[in-house]
Structure 1
Amino acid sequence: MNYIKAYAPATVANVACGFDIFGFAIEEPGDIVEITRTERPGIVIKDIFGDGGRLPREASKNAVTGVMLHLVEHLGLADFGAEVVLHKNMPLGSGMGSSAASSVAGIVALNALLDEPLSRNELLRFAMEGERIASGSAHADNVGPALLGGFVVIRSYDPLDVFTIPFPGDLYATLVHPDIEINTKDARYILRDEVSLKDTITQMGNVAGMISGLMQSDYELISRSMVDVIIEPVRSILIPQFGMVKQAAIEAGALGCSISGSGPSMFALSRGADTAQKVAKVMAEGFKQVGIDAHSHVSAINKTGATILEQA
């Protein structure tokens, strides 16, 4: 094959209590990457659409091509050449896994172009390098679900141990992006280096409850467990109207509501699509009360992750 077009979806990371260890994918939006093989060695960015000219065009400094360079080097393909086109379909600094979607779409497309020498799980380490390029930290809670689909748990980073767990079929996500931007590096910088034993115990209990609730389709347990006592209290100060928007989501029937990734997007989980739509409406209205436009997405959890759209 000489041409591949791949798609990778937006994701919700942390999922309240699971900082850097929980994540799930939604159906859309997502990024699209096109790769065309060339006779000239080297990977180059031919064009980027939707970024407003903000992303670097140098291959080693862009998350979508940086991961490709790592894979090509790993496979020893010194003579490989390709042109890359990136379609950014979500805003930068959104908390929706924007850089992860680019990295995953890129690495899946390249792997397909090379007749899939690596499995999806083997690609994860390469996709994580895109996060290092974008934010300085190679976390997997966005690239994991974007690559694998479903609800992902990162048990360990050293050694890397990632797996998916079952979740209720009627579980829907609401993702609301206010028209503001939070830099991921800044959002990680403000976090505390030390956490009290009391908060650690509370958080561990919620993590265990969340996993159990998802696997047993226990919506009440999911709801009780969607509490973050470590990250949310710090990061929420960066999001205008956070407390009011969260409360409105709960009152509209959401099981829980918190920050998506590093923000400013917020997410909620609900039982059923109708409730999720109601939650989306009140959350967006909450931001609009202070003059902030917000865009909403309602989706079941994406079970497949990245997909190949075209090949030739």
Structure 2
Amino acid sequence: MNDSIKVFAPATVANVACGFDIFGFAVDNPGDELVLRKTDLKGVKINKIEGDEGRLPLDASKNTAGIAIIKFLEAIGAESQGFEMDLKKLMPLGSGLGSSAASSVAGVFAANELLGRPLAQKDLLPFAMEGEFIACGSAHADNVGPSLMGGFTVIRSYDPLDIIQLRTPKELYATIVHPHIEVNTKDARNILKREISLKKTITQMGNVAGLVAGLMLPDYDLISRSLVDVIIEPVRAILIPQFDVVKNAALENGALGCSISGSGPSMFALSKDFDTAQKVGRAMQEGFSKVGIDSDCYVSGINQAGPVVIG
């Protein structure tokens, strides 16, 4: 059995318009890379973190990858096993792409692999969620779920935890544009209203059901009609300059729908072929560049693999 492993865990799009805290899907890039090694010393040590501009803690108990491994070792009764890790962030922090989730997933997935897979992959989810809790104060699973399991996931319930993977059309592509601004996840949560009207609730429930049906049938027109968020997007959109311009650009260039990725500032669009997804990305970036905001663009199918061993 190996004493060292290198893994990749993918970025994710959470909420997916109408599915606040219950929908998420994984993408091929960006993501996080993590090297984990067994040691003879008890505890988890983080040697270095690259790509974070020195902002992430090296204290494992305060780091999303570190705490996920610590909780995992406690659960399987292996607290005496020591690990050291090198983490490479291949996506910006505070981007709305599940940066903290990818680190959590990479850590616990790597530890489980090195110890001979004592737990099934889906059973690693609660430990990855511990990382989300220390990152933003909420142990939500709409990023860690798809990053760990791959594909498009639905969080049906948190108590008890119940996650479903949905089939997605092979021709469905995601465009993600990350403007070079930052939205703090805690801030994006704090501005949300605590109560919503019955009318908006019913509308949102219809869109949630419609999106699930549209993905499974598959029915692209139904997907398009359902990618509408009447509750969260109208509030969070004010945090993203040019939001309406960028969204309209995506729709005018053939996107099925466009909304905020997670808590933002990244925006995503879904399209029914690769060429359209690329065209949509160029139009979205142009929308940001009109006001001098640089951005990164990623085009990907729905990543069905989740975390993978790369060395």
Aligned length: 310
Shift of 1:152: 0.4
Q: Which residue of 2 aligns with 1:302?
A: 303
Counterpart-to-counterpart distance in 2, 1:300 and 1:38 = 38
Supply the AA of the counterpart residue of 1:292.
Answer: I
Match of 1:157 in 2: 158
Partner of 1:232: 233
Which residue of structure 2 aligns with residue 289 of structure 1? 290
Q: What code does the residue aligned with 1:277 have?
A: Q
Mapped to 1, the partners of 2:146 and 2:252 lie a distance apart of 29
Q: Secondary structure at the match of 1:76?
A: coil
Any residues of structure 2 matched to 1:1-312 within 5 Å, and which? 1-310=2-311
Q: What is the Cα deviation at residue 79 of structure 1?
A: 1.5
Distance in 2, matches of 1:181 and 1:134, equals 15
Unaligned regions of 5+ residues in structure 2, if any? none
Please report how far the alpha carbon of residue 6 of structure 1 lies from its aligned counterpart in structure 2 after TM superposition: 0.8
Distance 1:20 1:165 in 2: 16
SS in 2 for 1:23: strand
Per-residue deviation, residues 203-250 of structure 1 (Å, max 9, x unmatched)? 000000000000001000000000000000000000000001000000
Deviation at 1:129?
0.7
How many angstroms does 1:69 deviate by?
0.4
Deviation at 1:163, TM superposition (A): 1.1
Tell me by how many angstroms 1:4 deviates.
1.0
Larger deviation: 70-79 or 51-60? Answer: 70-79
Partner AA of 2:134 in structure 1: I
Tell me, what secondary structure is at the counterpart of 1:191? coil
Q: Deviations over 1:284-308 (max 9, x none)?
A: 0100000000100000000111111
CA deviation after TM superposition for structure 1 residue 78, in Å = 2.6
SS in 1 for 2:235: helix
Question: SS at the partner of 2:310?
Answer: strand
The secondary structure found in structure 2 opposite 1:193 is coil
Q: Deviations over 1:45-78 (max 9, x none)?
A: 0110110000011110000101000011111113
Give the ranges of 4+ consecutive aligned residues of structure 1 lying more than 3 Å apart after TM superposition: none
Aligned-residue sequence identity (percent) comes to 64
Cα distance, 1:283 vs structure 2:
0.2
Using the alignment, how far apart are the partners of 2:161 and 2:82 within structure 1? 30
Give me the whole-angstrom Cα distance separating, in 1, the residues matched to 2:98 and 2:148.
Answer: 12
Letter in 1 for 2:55: R
- Rounded Cα–Cα distance in structure 2 between residues aligned with 1:6 and 1:107: 10
Cα distance in 1 between the residues matched to 2:8 and 2:74: 23
Question: Equivalents in 1 of 2:232, 2:121: separation in Å?
Answer: 30
Pairwise CA RMSD: 0.6
How far does the alpha carbon of each residue in 1:165-211 deviate from its partner, in whole angstroms, 9 at most, with x for none? 11111000000000000110110111000010000000000000000
